[in-house]
Amino acid sequence: MVPVLTAMGKQPEGQLVDSGVFDINVNGKRVATESFKITENAEGSLSHSDLRLETENKPTQSYDMEMDSSGNLRRYHWESLITDKSSLVVEPDDSILVEHFVDPNGKNQEKKHMLPTSTVILDDRFFSQRELLAWRFMASGCKPDSKGLRCELPKRQYGTLNPTQHLANSVTVEYIGQEKAVIKGAAQMYTQIRISEEDGDWLIWLDDHEKVAKIVVPSANTEVIRD
């Protein structure tokens, strides 16, 4: 079953939907880990993630994101946990999104994005946000039947916002199909989807619980594996 933000019924209040650690490898070498947790209640979902570089002994960045039961953004908060201690918040203001942040000169700034609350937050540092997008895409065309899930998934385009770059864009998500793959030494069937962004493609393998098992970004020589 698609675990969150679907029309198949809400999870019980406060239920843990997914949690874990992604190992982030560039050119075959682990450079960082992302520890994440996603919960859901009758009001919607809450996601939290900590990013830790291999050169550091504590998290270097984190985010918290709250969405309603339809996947619309309520609040996004990002902060740097070392160096300049910078942070930002994205919240709806009527029908648009407003970003509050501190610029390099230490001044409080406000940037209005003429984007709806359904806009997908995609910070290029956090891979758990790609899982949330994968779930939204799968929920758009998958319904339960007697054999599990029945999916009709044409390509879909989503408006996106990368808050730390203050940049609005769009991505296209495409269902590739079922593939038998070996991940962490175990062979099984996975659902594969492709997220196409301006800078290249992200290939994603979802296990039979629709959780991300692996992400590959060929243009960046990056491979992400669930620990």
Distance separating the N- and C-terminal Cα atoms of the chain? 22
3-state secondary structure of 184: coil
Q: How confident is the model at residue 11 (pLDDT cuts 50, 70, 90)?
A: very low
Distance, CA of 92 to CA of 202 (rounded, Å): 28
- pLDDT tens for 210-227 read 999 999 999 999 999 999
Residue 4 within any structural domain of the chain:
no
Count of the separate structural domains present in the chain: 1
Could you tell me if residue 193 is inside a domain? Answer: no
Q: Is residue 148 part of a domain?
A: yes
Residue 131 is assigned to a structural domain of this protein: yes
CB atoms within 10 A of CB 96: 13
In a domain, 126, yes or no: yes
Pick 185 or 30 by higher pLDDT. 30
Amino acid at 117: T
Q: Distance between CA atoms of 48 and 54, rounded to whole angstroms? A: 20
Asked if residue 226 belongs to a domain, the reply is no
141 inside domain: yes
Q: What share of the chain is helix, strand, coil (3-state, %, to 5)?
A: 10, 60, 30
pLDDT tens digit string along 45-89? 999 999 999 999 999 999 999 999 989 999 999 999 887 678 999
Whether the CB-CB separation of 2 and 210 falls below 8 Å is answered with yes
Structure confidence at residue 150 as a pLDDT band (50, 70, 90): confident
220 located within any domain: no
Contacts of 147 (CB under 8 A, 6+ apart): none
**pLDDT for position 151:** 78
**In terms of residue numbers, what domain contains 84?**
15-170
Cα 196 to Cα 82, 96, 157, 200, 202: the distances in Å are 32, 25, 9, 6, 6
Please, where are the H alpha helices in the chain?
128-141
